[in-house]
Amino acid sequence: MSDGFKFIVIGHSGAGKTSILRRLVEDKFVKGTQSTVGIEFFNWTTTVEGTQVKCLIWDTAGQERFYTIAKAYFRNALGVILVFDITDRKSFDSLPKWLRDAKSDADPDCVVLLVGNKSDLAKERNVSQEEAENYAKTNGLDYMETSALNSDGVREAFEKTAGELLRKSKLKPPSKPDSSNVIINPSGAPKGKCSCKRGA
């Protein structure tokens, strides 16, 4: 089993970040999920190319009043899932701020995946797939659409990112793990499938 990769899930409030993670880890959808207060932690393991990969995932609050707290967790993240809501233009327009800060604070070799959530509401979309793909291409990102409601693309998004991180790690020369971004179990975080709230 590989060491754990630190992930952050970021984006505008209401984009469905927590719903995506609950679908990923617990395989359930809770309608009307409350906005994350500060930070929540999830632990998820998958198998990529025959190797077990542990993902230590921080779900960050999208509300402006919690931004300073959330941003503190960007440091040295290896996997970045940047989420917007395809029915919410404001969530798409806020992407440059999130991407700028993630690239500034996350690990220089981080893998960023742009995710357009709520694909089940395609008839109500305010951001076209073409526009999202163009934004991703311009910024050197891959793009996927997901639905936390029916689980479309959710697992694939994290497996894709974990796979890229695993391949990158195999290309690097052997070195001692950097405890800031390769984690076996974070201090104070419970083991297994879990979530715990932190922050204000």
**Percentage above 70 pLDDT, the chain:** 76
Q: And the tokens for 91?
A: 């969530």
Distance, in Å, from the CA atom of 42 to the CA atom of 196, rounded to the nearest integer, reads 8
Q: What are phi and psi of 10, to 5 degrees?
A: -130, 160
Q: Which range has the worst mean pLDDT, 86-90, 122-126, 186-190?
A: 186-190
Q: Which amino acid is at 102?
A: A
Query: What are the tens digits of pLDDT across the range 4-50?
Result: 899 999 999 899 999 999 999 999 997 755 555 457 889 999 998 89
pLDDT at position 3, please?
63
Are 10 and 58 in contact by the 8 Å Cβ rule? The answer is no
Q: And the tokens for 145?
A: 């659409």
What does the pLDDT average to over 191-195? 44
- For the chain, list the domains and their CATH numbers: 4-193 (3.40.50.300)
DSSP three-state, residue 76: coil
Which pTM was predicted?
A: 0.80
pLDDT band at 75 (very low <50, low <70, confident <90, very high): confident
Distance, in Å, from the CA atom of 42 to the CA atom of 99, rounded to the nearest integer, reads 22
**Percentage above 90 pLDDT, the chain:** 60
Query: What are the tens digits of pLDDT across the range 107-119?
Result: 999 999 999 999 9
